[in-house]
A and B are shown apart, each in its own frame.
Chain A
Amino acid sequence: MNFDLTYLLQIAPLLLKGAVVTVQATVLGTLLAAVLGLLMAILTRSRLRIVRYATTAVVLFVRNTPLLIQLFFLFYILPQFGIALPTYLTGVIALGIHYAAYMSEVYRAGITAVPRGQWEAAHALNMPRALVWRRIILPQALPPIIPPLGNYAIAMFKDTPVLATIGILEMLGVALAEANRSYRYYEPLTMVGILFLIFSLFSAVAVRLLEKRYAAR
């Protein structure tokens, strides 16, 4: 079977549309994961034991079950409990929660790296805990962990094809739909692979630049 360049060009606009959905889902998923992950990291340091344990359990659970199953759970089972979310939103939430669990570990490392004396100095200045987090701890904890967080964003990007399984027309979904229509798999799937490679390489370069920028601190 020959690789048909004309056919490829013909389906390229379609695939690029899918690429937009992929990138969108990654960006939204990353934002959600970044916020949720930080929240999880902070809650695992709560003064209340029950909050600490519950959060740790959630993180452990999410990290040790496959993304695909989490996605199916949200998509097929949650509606049975009366929570029916739009498909696209379900996909973003699944990505967000899954990667939040991983990112929370990165946050935790960054937070732990802030010396104890910083907490104590803030305490001695009578700063309330929320203020200590916001103005003293996080500004020191975050810059060094921006590169590893970026790496998780790239990992999430490469995981977006799971969204095709619930019918979201991201890159792979579009390619599969097209392949099923034309019975040609070679060109669409190759193209998807190449697009993933290009995006990932660009993102990796971006993360490298971030690393350089924050390494000096």
Chain B
Amino acid sequence: MLPVDIPPSPALRLRGVSKAFGSLTILDKLDLDVAPGERISIIGRSGSGKTTLLRVLMTLEKIDAGSIEVFGRYLGQRPEGGRLVPATPEETRAVRGDIGMVFQQFNLFPHRTAIENVIEAPIHVKKMGSKEARDMGMALLCTVGLADKADHYPRQLSGGQQQRVAIARALAMQPRIILFDEVTSALDPERVDEVLSVIQGLAQESTITMLIVTHEMRFARDVATRTIFMEEGLIVEDDAPAVIFGKPNKARTQSFLQSVLGRGL
């Protein structure tokens, strides 16, 4: 029997995470626990702190206070004797390796082909052999339905295709947690579904932990195992998607959903 007093370390454990830009508070003493394999959709108005939450997890922003643990290891800084001690760049890189991110603006490397974008980091960061990396990269491009575009440059691809390459690129580093930051917001409406279905497929076929910031409410409901509604840097409501989208408990969640959904999903 397993000893019951050692719980498996959560994928993410945030305690009192705060972030302000000047006098503007973006994250307000946030607490959050994410179990491995959870898929969390994060909804809320612009400026509610959703994107900043992801950027903080990716260490693209430094937090002002609090602590973040990724699978039991402190990210960026750790509390010690009531103060925050910054981690060395090497320590941060070691922990950050568990996390991958897909951006609103794709951010593919324009001077590299699709396959080169995917295998760049595996080869040069993980020191994977180029043959091995290429095979893995092709398999990933296959997964996102773009095997035939492997040798195309980003400028030769549509927005939806670029975003799918970006997803393959993030997956190539085999993160245990993947962050999706409004990944369809920059796409033409007819290109949205191809990207969402790739993420849906990923959700069904892997146990990777996902944090998904999105304005696509139907997607937020269908893909997630849990939904968080944020407002003014706070988590207002955190529950099963069926609850949040069906019968939210907080008035603020209700009013948000009413304003974005109108008559329904």
A residues contacting B by CB (< 8 A) are 115, 117-118, 120-121, 123-128, 131, 135-136, 139-140
Contacts and interface: CB of A to CB of B under 8 A. Distances in A.
A2 to B, nearest CB: 60
Contacts of A131: 124-125
B124 A140 contact: no
A83 B110 CA distance: 47
B39 interface: no
B111 A140 contact: yes
Contacts of B105: 117
B110 A140 contact: yes
A120 B107 contact: yes
30 contacts: A117-B107, A120-B58, A120-B103, A121-B166, A123-B58, A123-B59, A123-B60, A124-B58, A124-B60, A124-B99, A124-B100, A124-B101, A124-B103, A124-B170, A125-B120, A125-B121, A126-B96, A126-B121, A126-B125, A127-B121, A127-B124, A127-B125, A128-B89, A131-B124, A135-B124, A136-B109, A136-B120, A139-B111, A140-B109, A140-B110
Nearest to B92: A126
Contacts of B65: none
Interface string B82-107: 00000001000100110111010101
A127 B125 CA distance: 6
A28 B170 CA distance: 43
Query: What 8 pairs between A and B have smallest CB-CB spacing?
Result: A121-B107, A125-B121, A117-B107, A124-B101, A126-B97, A139-B111, A117-B105, A124-B58
B114 interface: no
Contacts of B93: 126, 128
B87 to A, nearest CB: 14
Nearest to B102: A124
A121 B100 contact: no
A136 to B, nearest CB: 6
A111 to B, nearest CB: 14
B56 to A, nearest CB: 13
B11 interface: no
Contacts of B110: 140
A68 B105 CA distance: 49
Interface residues of B, number: 25
B199 interface: no
B128 to A, nearest CB: 13
A79 to B, nearest CB: 42
Contacts of A120: 58, 60, 103, 107
A118 B109 contact: yes
B124 A118 contact: no
Nearest to B123: A135
A118 B107 contact: yes
Given A120-B60, A135-B120, A125 B107 contact: no
A121 B166 CA distance: 9
Interface string B47-75: 00000000000111000000000000000
A180 to B, nearest CB: 55
Interface in B147-198: 166, 169-170, 173
A136 B117 CA distance: 10
Contacts of A139: 111
Nearest to A136: B109
Interface in B234-253: none
B230 interface: no
Nearest to B172: A125
Nearest to B169: A125
Contacts of A135: 120, 124
Nearest to A118: B107
Contacts of B223: none
B228 interface: no
A53 to B, nearest CB: 21
Contacts of A115: 107
Nearest to A128: B93
A125 B111 contact: no
Contacts of A123: 58-60
A139 B110 CA distance: 10
Nearest to B100: A124
A131 B89 CA distance: 14
A128 B120 CA distance: 13
Contacts of A125: 100, 120-121, 125, 169-170, 173
Contacts of B96: 126
A81 B103 CA distance: 55
